[in-house]
Amino acid sequence: KLLRTCFVGISPRWLTCGCSAWHAWVCRAQLVAVKKVIAAMTIGKDVSSLFVEMLKCIQTSDIELKKLIYLYLMNYAKTQPEKVILAVSTFLRDAQDPNPLVRALAIRTMACIRVTEIVEYIVDPLRRCLADTDPYVRKTAAIAVAKLYDLSAELTESAGFVGE
């Protein structure tokens, strides 16, 4: 309900006006709403019904908002495996982001989502991140290999991440 009511009464033309003030207001409103959702999730309330609304907010350049949404996805991916597949394109795009923090966040999130439907999508970005120039990204990718092995040892071995 928090995200759904965020834009009640707002004219659709405002969404496409391109105003930087409007964009800043929308980003702030999304951040406040997502923080409330995460707070509710943290104290044990079931906010899984907001999965689609959270997915709609995933394509953002705000790192704080992206971290919170990724945290939500990691928590509820097991209960909504058919919907988490919708986030894969964003994960793949973020794994190639110029910002090393965003690249590492995308790889870590994909590895933490324990859903077999997205396991096959992590191989290529993981291979790129293992050879990344940034040490934080490489470290995160190395940890992701261990998590991938736990989920699918066969895939990890066939991709050449570990020896036999």
- List, for residues 38-58, the tens digit of each pLDDT value: 999 999 998 888 888 888 888
Of 99, 109, 111, 89, whose CA–CA distance to 136 is shortest?
99
- List, for residues 111-156, the tens digit of each pLDDT value: 999 888 888 899 999 999 999 999 999 999 999 999 999 988 888 8
pLDDT for position 96:
94
- List, for residues 69-107, the tens digit of each pLDDT value: 999 999 998 888 888 888 899 999 999 999 999 999 999
In the predicted structure, residue 7 carries a pLDDT above the cut 70: no
pLDDT for position 136:
96
27 or 145: which leads in pLDDT: 145
On whether the CB atoms of residues 100 and 141 are closer than 8 A, the answer is no
